[in-house]
A = this chain, B = another copy of it.
Amino acid sequence: MSDFAIIAVISIFTAGLTVSFGALGPALGEGRAAASAIAAIAQQPDAAPTLSRTLFVSLAMIESTAIYCFVVSMILIFANPFWDAVQAASGQ
């Protein structure tokens, strides 16, 4: 395998791995937070606005870790500095 190919291969594999593995934790964490919020609203309907607000802030915070992964995955596919360097080095 040429250097060209090996960097493409590892970028593809890592991009997929990053986004799929990075979805595991946030999805479970958000599921837990949402389940708790829904149970709380049923128990205390009057506090629904406060609870929703707290839930959405928490979901955004948790989602951020998934977004880090998505960002890294997109960088690896579309703005990979190593790929650019190899292409520049080999004059392609």
Contact = CB atoms under 8 A, between A and B. Distances in A.
Q: How many copies does the complex hold?
A: 14
Contact of A50 (B41, B69, B81): B41
B68 A70 contact: yes
Contacts of A80: 12
Interface residues on A, range: 35 or more
Contacts of A14: 12-13, 15-17
A16 B75 CA distance: 10
Contacts of A12: 7, 10-11, 14, 76, 80, 82
Contacts of A23: 21-22, 25-26, 65-66, 68-69
A64 B38 CA distance: 19
A9 B63 CA distance: 28
Interface of A: 1-48, 50-52, 54-59, 61-66, 68-70, 72-73, 75-78, 80-83, 85-87, 89, 92
